[in-house]
Structure 1
Amino acid sequence: MSRICLIRGSQPRAGRRIHRSGLAKKKGGIGRHVTKTVNRTVYPNLQEKRIWVPELGGFVKMKLSCKALRTISKNGAYNTLKAAGLL
């Protein structure tokens, strides 16, 4: 199952976690230092939704990011789907 938003095209991307060691100066240490970075994957916030499209007279089932849901709320389902090339 792909983790890609159908409207925005959001997909998993690479990122890093920073590992720090040491005690903060304000707590009596010599300061915090970055000792290593660890690769990780950042996933989009995807939801599987049924969207009612009045112009089509029915529901459309899609996997969307939450930001795409806000776009649909703002611009309407039919206009958003048409702009994304899904209709």
Structure 2
Amino acid sequence: MSKKCQVTGKKPRRGKSYSIRGIAKKKKGIGLNVTGTVKRRFLPNLVKKRFWFSEENRFITLKLSTSAMRTIDKRGLSAVVRELRAQGQHI
């Protein structure tokens, strides 16, 4: 399964990690300099979570970001499941 949230659609993003050397000007140095950059990935905080879906009297397993769990708490599980099924996802 991909590293993508089923509700919010969050997925890994690309970025860079910087290596910095030098002494700050505040400490009487010549300043901080970037001496190297390395590509990296910022991964979403995903959790595989089971919810009790009372309308169908069964458990539903979703792969969610933690912010999506807050969305489910706010809007309700049935509203979120209805929206996912309208998008064509199999749940």
Partner of 2:65: 65
Partner of 1:18: 18
1:81 is matched by which residue type in structure 2? Answer: V
Q: Deviations over 1:24-60 (max 9, x none)?
A: 1122211112223210011100001001122222210
Q: CA deviation at 1:72?
A: 0.3
Return the alpha-carbon distance in structure 2 between the equivalents of residues 13 and 68 of structure 1: 17
**Residue-pair matches, total:** 87
Give the structure-2-normalised TM-score: 0.85
2:59 is matched by which residue type in structure 1? Answer: F
2:57 is matched by which residue type in structure 1? Answer: G
- SS of the equivalent of 2:69 reads helix
Deviates more, 1:20-29 or 1:42-51: 20-29
CA-based RMSD: 1.4
Return the alpha-carbon distance in structure 1 between the equivalents of residues 84 and 30 of structure 2: 53
Q: What are the residue-to-residue correspondences of 1:31-46 with 2, within 5 Å? A: 31-46=31-46
**Percentage of identical aligned residues:** 43
1:83 is matched by which residue type in structure 2? Answer: E
Partner of 2:3: 3
